[in-house]
Amino acid sequence: MGTFDESGAYTPRPITENDLGSLTLDEAYSATMVDIQNGQLVEGTVVRVDKDEVLLDIGYKSEGVIPPRELSIRNGVDPSEIVAVGEKIEAVVLQREDKEGRLVLSKKRAQYERAWGRIEEIKEGDGMVSGSVIEVVKGGLIVDIGLRGFLPASLVELRRVRDLQPYIGTTVDAKIIELDKNRNNVVLSRRAWLEETQKEQREEFLHDLRPGEVRRGVVSSVVNFGAFVDLGGMDGLVHVSELSWKHVDHPGSVVAVGDEIEVQVLEVDLSRERISLSLKATQQDPWQEFAGAHQVGELVYGRVTKLVPFGSFVQVGDGIEGLVHISEMSAHHVELPEQVVTPGEELWVKIIDLDLQRRRISLSIKQAAEGGVVAAEYQEHFGEHAYDDEGNYIGGESSEGQEAWAELYGESDADGDASVEEADAVEGASVEEVDADGDASVEEVDADGDASVEEGVVSRRLTPCWRSA
């Protein structure tokens, strides 16, 4: 409303007032605008939340647009779960003006900038970070610590974890072991934090372990070089060479995750906090067992496992192999082992040397053909009554073993006389004939057709066994 003076004259109220001072209208308009640059950190108020974008008023000539991918470090989230209308947030300017003329902002980048400063301080102070597990990725987990921190699967627990899905949504504490801002790379280790917090318990556990003692444990993981066993406080390693007395191609053929086993403590490294274990040390050493039950000069039954240029290897016990040198294969000269034996062939061999310390056994096919003392386990099979005090075969009542060989080779005839003839395909075949007077003659035929005869009562009746395939 206007005003009246003393004379009654009316003066209308001014519609506008010059409050710009010395500024022009353009200058006054520009002064109300925010000056921004790409990469600048700004603050604004959320004015709109849609599924495909969020609008933020930062005082610029137009609202800034935050795409969903720039709202959070989490993938595939609903914008309404991250921000709300009226909420004040920080954002980083990505583009002052895109091809559509929009101001493009990023809330995620603002979080990064704030988080990096905090993360760097924690790293320098050897501190700990805490965050929620938001993703399972190849090789580990993604943890929200204000930015995407990578937690390798091998560093989630004190032992490797195979199933990482149960960790989704849980909060974990971890140490920062690698930080590279240029590559936007943060590597975390929960195991390092667990080791630090459980250091006293681990030291006490290690001091209680003594080399030589036997502990029960559970196989926690199987790797190419061995198996880790949880001893109830720490994991120890059973190297592949300590899994079995036999050759092991892969640890998985001996143990599996979850197996409960007994192991012997070999070594405790306090400085490196490592425990070396042995599974085979809790088992009977087959070499000790074999050496205790056999001696040089005995005849044993075996199977040819491998041919080499200098001879053949024959398995004579569970996990026990001996070498038949090419010079001990036959009485005649042998150019190649395959001229005498083939892999898989079963035969009698004589022990001519037994070196327990080096775990080596020297065997002879040639000397086995000359007869000798049969090992005790074979005497039991054919009947102890059939051998004299020196272990030589002297015959006797028919045993199950003898009947089996007789049936296989057609050894017995109606008169009680016996003759055994091996297949012609086997070189060095031997024939034994027993006449009515009980005398025995042994004829060995070599590859050239020559024959040698040995008279006397010897353990040659077992010949069919040691030359059978």
Q: Please tell me the distance from the alpha carbon of residue 226 to that of residue 261, in angstroms, as a whole number.
A: 14
> Over the stretch 93-136, which tens digit does the pLDDT of each residue have?
988 888 888 899 999 888 888 888 888 888 888 889 999 999 99
Give yes or no on whether 25-110 and 198-282 have one common fold: yes
Q: Token digits for 202?
A: 């681990």
CA distances from 407 to 117, 401, 413 (A): 89, 10, 11
- Average pLDDT in the 34-57 region? 86
In degrees to the nearest 10, what's the CA dihedral of 440, 441, 446, 452? 140
> Over the stretch 343-393, which tens digit does the pLDDT of each residue have?
999 999 999 999 888 889 999 999 988 887 888 777 766 555 555 565 555
> How much is the pLDDT for 399?
45
- Average pLDDT in the 404-423 region? 43
- Average pLDDT in the 386-414 region? 49
Residues of the chain with pLDDT > 70, as a percent, come to 75
> Over the stretch 253-270, which tens digit does the pLDDT of each residue have?
999 998 999 999 999 998
Instruction: Lowest mean pLDDT of 6-20, 116-130, 288-302, name the range.
Output: 6-20
Question: Which of the four pLDDT bands, split at 50, 70 and 90, describes residue 21?
Answer: low
Higher pLDDT, 73 or 29: 73
Tokens 């003393």 correspond to: 6
Question: Which of the four pLDDT bands, split at 50, 70 and 90, describes residue 219?
Answer: very high
The CATH number that domain 25-110 falls under is 2.40.50.140
- Given CATH 2.40.50.140, say whether it is the number of domain 297-469: yes
Higher pLDDT, 80 or 434: 80
Please name the fold of domain 198-282.
OB fold (Dihydrolipoamide Acetyltransferase, E2P) (2.40.50)
The CATH number that domain 126-196 falls under is 2.40.50.140
- Average pLDDT in the 199-208 region? 83
Instruction: Lowest mean pLDDT of 37-41, 144-148, 432-436, name the range.
Output: 432-436
Ordered by start, the domain boundaries in the chain are 25-110, 126-196, 198-282, 297-469
